[in-house]
Structure 1
Amino acid sequence: MPITLEQFVHTPRIAYFSMEIGLRSEIPTYSGGLGMLAGDTLRSAADLSIPLVGVTLASRNGYFRQVLDEFGRQTELPDPWEPGDWAIPLPAKISVPVADRDVWVQAWLYGLSGASGYQVPVLLLDTQLPENGPEDRRITDQLYGDGIEYRLTQEIVLGIGGARMLQALGFKVHTYHMNEGHSALLALELLRRDERRPDRMEPHGDVYDTARVREQCLFTTHTPVEAGHDQFDYPLVDRLLARFMDLNEIRRLAGNQRLNMTRLALRLSGYVNGVAKTHAEVSRQMFPEVHVHAVTNGVHPGTWTAPAVQRLFDRYIPAWRFEPDMLVRADQIPPQETWSAHTEAKAALLDAVRRLTGVSLDPEVATLGFARRMTAYKRPDLLFSDLGRLKTIAQRHPIQIVMAGKAHPNDSGGKALIERLFRMRDELSGAIRMVFLPNYNMHLGHLLTSGVDLWLNNPLRPLEASGTSGMKAAFNGVPNLSVLDGWWMEGCIEGVTGWAVGNGGGAESNGGDAQALYATLENKVLPLFYDDRAGWIRVMQGAIAKNAYYFNSHRMMRRYATAAYIR
């Protein structure tokens, strides 16, 4: 049956706002982990029949398509898609104030279907309209487009425009969930919906009913780094938003020095959470005036599990798609069948590697995977800190390495890291086969997290808020070898679900972590893989039974529903 607006507007809903949402590879409205988490949130809502409505930007040119030359130099090209191929246009148009002009916004409706047929609507906001001038038509073209003014204009469209669009379309919204601070201006829009009335004034003299807005809003913060929070200088804010709200009111709510979108969201949300227990602790230290709850992230079971592994679960744990906590029984699956499903997923990855790079990897060799946003604190080059040591390890127990990841167009350090990885690849030639797959996306992420034998993650502590790629690996029985940060602080059971790099006792030097990584690989991981296949499969099943059973977005959404949505 064709999707229609009418089927969604009569049910009271939670409006889930996110600058990026990963719906599918063909719709490049995501850049990385934040968008993948948003997509998994909505997919689990659809599976569990939780009445959400997603709000994001159309991002007609995507984030970017990554092209790498022979030296690893990254070039960014547009990654265009046509909303009309996947979504239907909606009739309402609303305007938002930007400087001295009105920018008009329309929405596309995408229906995200759950396993039982329940659908969650997603609104894709679009300014490519004849009512707008050429500059304004481009606002929703590129995700995280270049320039601070472009970013603030996008966030005006997302927050203010998204709230107005929901109202214009007739959605009955009782709760607004801000996924990161990009959409925080929606809270100001909610404030403005009440007239300034003396009986609404708060004891300290506020002319807006902030208590009412706090009852409606909740906020999920994703970064423990102050520099990672969007901030805008007030001269720019005043120029773009003077017609929307008095600057002094914005200052009072969002910080006196700059408009801090995170602080604005914190001030106007009645429920705030970090995305892992450790991240919540760090956030409480950053914002001691706020009670920060912890809702550890999860990944969507059906999306990130390889077909062969899905069939295995369907055979032995048939309820797993709706009740992934039943995967606690994964250690009862016949070991050889677990291994056979993995070898099928690995063959699919190696086939993709061959098609994309021309390199044929050996299915019998231990394959290490690393795929992240390429930036300094993720330390993608940690494994290559001592090439001599790495070669010595590989002489005894062969390894091969598959990597992928994009650097932000303005992150020169991240781009330099990719070039360094290409040099490492060349220096390892003849000793260790290594490939770097271009244009990392949902499809490649699925192949990588299910097809490698071991998943690496080595951020600089405590800068990893959560991390979800390792959770995807766990669903496929791929153990993690990771720094004790983010979700792995909760998920690591040494030698049972995977292994830790270091002891998690605080930020360590690259040298210390590299040596710990090498020692664990040489003395624990590789000997188990090559010399004790039964023991290795026990760890694979431990990753499923003790990680995947818990670190899934079904559990996450049930927690949001009981702790945040029903208050």
Structure 2
Amino acid sequence: MSDWKEFTRENKIAYFSMEIGLTAEIPTYSGGLGILAGDTIKSAADLRLPMVAITLAYRKGYFSQKIGPDGWQEEYPVEWKPESLMELLPNKTLVTIEARDVKIQAWLYRVKSPTGGEVPVLFLDTDIPGNADEDRHLTDQLYGGDRAYRLKQEMILGIGGARILDVLGFSVRKYHMNEGHASLLTLELLDRTRRPVEDTWDERFLWDTNWVAQRCVFTTHTPVEAGHDHFSYELVQQVLGEMIPIAMLKDLAGKDELNMTMLALRLSRFVNGVAKKHGEISRTLFPGFEIHAITNGIHPFTWASPYFVHLYDQYLPGWANEPELLVRVDNIPDEEIWDAHYGAKSYLFQYIEEDTGVKLDSGILTLGFARRATAYKRGDLIFSDIERLLKIGEGRLQLVFAGKSHPKDITGKKLIQKIVSHIAPLRDKIKVVYLENYNMDVACRVIPGVDLWLNNPLRPLEASGTSGMKAALNGVPNFSVLDGWWIEGHIEGITGWSIGPPPTESSLDANRSGEDVVDLYNKLEHIIIPLYYDNRPGWIKVMKNAIGKNAYYFNTHVMMRRYVTEAYLR
């Protein structure tokens, strides 16, 4: 094993993320944000970019999901041991929380690429002898606890992360905040610029906000209010204290409460949303700020099923590190595309039978819907008119669902329960399964194994969405509302199909569910089902277009090259 100090020999991009999903055995992610972070790091390694990543070592993970007999989600801890997978680094740092010094240590995980690139990921941990018992549990659980617990975690990530990089000897060129959770690092950087200024009355200080902004990049991921953390100033003063004068903090982060997104916006030179539409919505949400758009991507090698990896290796050698080669997908014979898909489908169906006891029919058109269970994702939309669904799909459709709801999201849990409630009544007509404990391993089975990827969020609340990109990489066409990345990837009937009207909304309150449901049923009945069953060459053409017109571009290699040229080198 090489000396970890080798990582400190050149200037780095320091990438901060509250959650990072690298493998299922490191359960420090809940969904899209963490998976995007993991894919970003993997592409950085492939491209040999000088990056170091910082997150927390959640010893109890997010949670393991069980669906009870009544369809209600139950949560259990995911216990894992950083010491079994990572190397403990020798240096520690301190953060003062509620006037107590809290020690922070870092576990090193190395993300290695076949290209020779390697990115160190630092998992911060407060479970250290000498810390107060309550402080030892601060890095236990992702998105757990109350507001104070969340603020303490964000102090550990932002302030502790910046300090641990210093004590370990890292030299940082840019600090990239993946969402607002890490925004407190700007206060740590600001504190480093403090200079005394004498006048006749008292001693005051100057802070160089421009110096901080030049070093910070901020990516905002959500137009949903719940995605923007905010804390009362009473709580901030109790937990954080006064790193800078409270009046100055209010100028930077909001008059009434500390808004982490606003703090990052004010102290970052480069800010971006994660799709063109999301950049537009973000500029509406935060007028006066220059907000760019860099569309998210996925890491090609991670998300291609083994069946397609084999196929791409044979016909498009080098594709994993040059995904633009996927544009040549027409070099692959149709029957081999179909065989690879059929292999992925059979692999999924075997897993479903082992997990649920339900035996699906590989000859039937299978729709997949797997993502976080929350109201705006509208996971139950396809069940809006059961009579119409049966008329369209009896004997011709199968539905595969998966996804977790946040433990405190009662509406999300009710959504899961509602979907599960349809399984028994529809059993002899349309088979429906809900897979428990959706994680990276389950996703790697579900996404390539279905025939059509369904996505129907309320516009314009889907900032980007990356599951559809994973589907396209595996030749699974998208059937999606025109929001997020799909606005850019969609060519009707060519790369997949849209649901509902064009994406003209600029308001977050728009709701056109009625139109969406009608369009969903009409396209299933009159276009998608006939194409699948009656025109196999036509269906395979759409599969190939998904690969050659979507997957070649919507990946983290393309995304990272844009971050380098537009954000990191500015």
Q: Report the Cα offset of residue 381 of structure 1.
A: 0.2
Quote the Cα distance in structure 2 between the aligned partners of 1:304 and 1:198. Answer: 55
Q: Which residues of 2 match residues 521-532 of structure 1 at below 5 A?
A: 521-532=524-535
Whether contact under 8 Å (1:502, 1:516) holds in the other structure is: yes
Percent identical pairs in the alignment equals 56
Q: Which residues of 2 match residues 253-332 of structure 1 at below 5 A?
A: 253-332=252-331
Whether contact under 8 Å (2:194, 2:205) holds in the other structure is: no
Is 1:336 the counterpart of 2:335 in the alignment? yes
Deviation string for 1:482-521 (max 9, x for gaps)? 0000000000001111000012244443222111101111
Whether contact under 8 Å (1:387, 1:428) holds in the other structure is: no
The residue type paired with residue 566 of structure 2 is A
Quote the Cα distance in structure 2 between the aligned partners of 1:490 and 1:539. Answer: 16
Give the direction of change, closer, same or farther, for the CA distance of 1:133–1:332 in structure 2 (3 Å limit). same
Q: Which runs of 5+ in 2 are unaligned?
A: 199-203
Whether contact under 8 Å (1:180, 1:222) holds in the other structure is: yes
Aligned partner of residue 431 in structure 1, secondary structure: coil
Whether contact under 8 Å (2:155, 2:184) holds in the other structure is: yes
Give the direction of change, closer, same or farther, for the CA distance of 1:133–1:539 in structure 2 (3 Å limit). same
CA-atom RMSD, angstroms? Answer: 1.2
The residue type paired with residue 399 of structure 2 is I
Whether contact under 8 Å (1:385, 1:511) holds in the other structure is: no
Quote the Cα distance in structure 2 between the aligned partners of 1:355 and 1:11. Answer: 49
Whether contact under 8 Å (2:187, 2:243) holds in the other structure is: no
Q: Report the Cα offset of residue 3 of structure 1.
A: 4.6
Aligned partner of residue 92 in structure 1, secondary structure: coil
Aligned partner of residue 91 in structure 2, secondary structure: strand
Quote the Cα distance in structure 2 between the aligned partners of 1:61 and 1:234. Answer: 29
What is residue 201 of structure 2 aligned with on the other side?
Answer: none
The residue type paired with residue 119 of structure 1 is E
Q: Report the Cα offset of residue 247 of structure 1.
A: 1.9
The residue type paired with residue 516 of structure 2 is D
Q: Report the Cα offset of residue 420 of structure 1.
A: 0.4
Q: Which residues of 2 match residues 154-165 of structure 1 at below 5 A?
A: 154-165=153-164
Quote the Cα distance in structure 1 between the aligned partners of 2:380 and 2:96. Answer: 45
The residue type paired with residue 388 of structure 1 is E
Quote the Cα distance in structure 2 between the aligned partners of 1:20 and 1:354. Answer: 31
Aligned partner of residue 50 in structure 1, secondary structure: coil
Whether contact under 8 Å (2:196, 2:205) holds in the other structure is: no
- TM-score (ref. length: structure 2): 0.97
What is residue 25 of structure 2 aligned with on the other side?
Answer: 26
Q: Report the Cα offset of residue 84 of structure 1.
A: 0.8
Whether contact under 8 Å (2:48, 2:116) holds in the other structure is: no
Deviation string for 1:173-224 (max 9, x for gaps)? 110000000000001100111232459xxxxx98210000111000000001
User: Aligned pairs, how many?
Assistant: 560
Within the candidate set 442, 445, 452, 2:450 is matched to: 452
What is residue 488 of structure 2 aligned with on the other side?
Answer: 490
Within the candidate set 526, 545, 548, 1:545 is matched to: 548
Within the candidate set 510, 513, 520, 1:517 is matched to: 520
The residue type paired with residue 123 of structure 2 is L
Q: Report the Cα offset of residue 117 of structure 1.
A: 2.7
The residue type paired with residue 483 of structure 1 is V
Aligned partner of residue 422 in structure 1, secondary structure: helix
Q: Report the Cα offset of residue 80 of structure 1.
A: 1.2
The residue type paired with residue 474 of structure 1 is A
What is residue 228 of structure 1 aligned with on the other side?
Answer: 227
Q: Report the Cα offset of residue 243 of structure 1.
A: 4.7
Quote the Cα distance in structure 2 between the aligned partners of 1:247 and 1:197. Answer: 18
Deviation string for 1:119-153 (max 9, x for gaps)? 10000000000121110000000001121000000
Give the direction of change, closer, same or farther, for the CA distance of 1:198–1:244 in structure 2 (3 Å limit). closer
Whether contact under 8 Å (1:99, 1:243) holds in the other structure is: no
Aligned partner of residue 7 in structure 1, secondary structure: helix
The residue type paired with residue 482 of structure 1 is S
Aligned partner of residue 90 in structure 2, secondary structure: strand
Is 1:481 the counterpart of 2:484 in the alignment? no
Quote the Cα distance in structure 1 between the aligned partners of 2:157 and 2:511. Answer: 39
Whether contact under 8 Å (1:462, 1:485) holds in the other structure is: yes
What is residue 402 of structure 1 aligned with on the other side?
Answer: 400
Whether contact under 8 Å (1:491, 1:547) holds in the other structure is: yes
Quote the Cα distance in structure 2 between the aligned partners of 1:468 and 1:172. Answer: 32
Quote the Cα distance in structure 2 between the aligned partners of 1:490 and 1:206. Answer: 48
Quote the Cα distance in structure 1 between the aligned partners of 2:147 and 2:2. Answer: 36
Within the candidate set 549, 562, 566, 2:565 is matched to: 562
Q: Which residues of 2 match residues 84-95 of structure 1 at below 5 A?
A: 84-95=83-94
Q: Report the Cα offset of residue 226 of structure 1.
A: 3.0
Whether contact under 8 Å (1:374, 1:417) holds in the other structure is: yes
Within the candidate set 430, 434, 445, 1:432 is matched to: 430
- TM-score (ref. length: structure 1): 0.97
What is residue 467 of structure 2 aligned with on the other side?
Answer: 469
Q: Which runs of 5+ in 1 are unaligned?
A: 200-204
Whether contact under 8 Å (1:97, 1:243) holds in the other structure is: no
Give the direction of change, closer, same or farther, for the CA distance of 1:286–1:328 in structure 2 (3 Å limit). same
Quote the Cα distance in structure 1 between the aligned partners of 2:276 and 2:2. Answer: 39
Within the candidate set 396, 420, 423, 1:422 is matched to: 420
The residue type paired with residue 138 of structure 1 is H
Whether contact under 8 Å (1:97, 1:244) holds in the other structure is: no
The residue type paired with residue 291 of structure 1 is E
Quote the Cα distance in structure 1 between the aligned partners of 2:3 and 2:65. Answer: 35
Q: Report the Cα offset of residue 225 of structure 1.
A: 2.1
- Please say which of residues 328-337 and 190-199 is displaced more in the overlay: 190-199
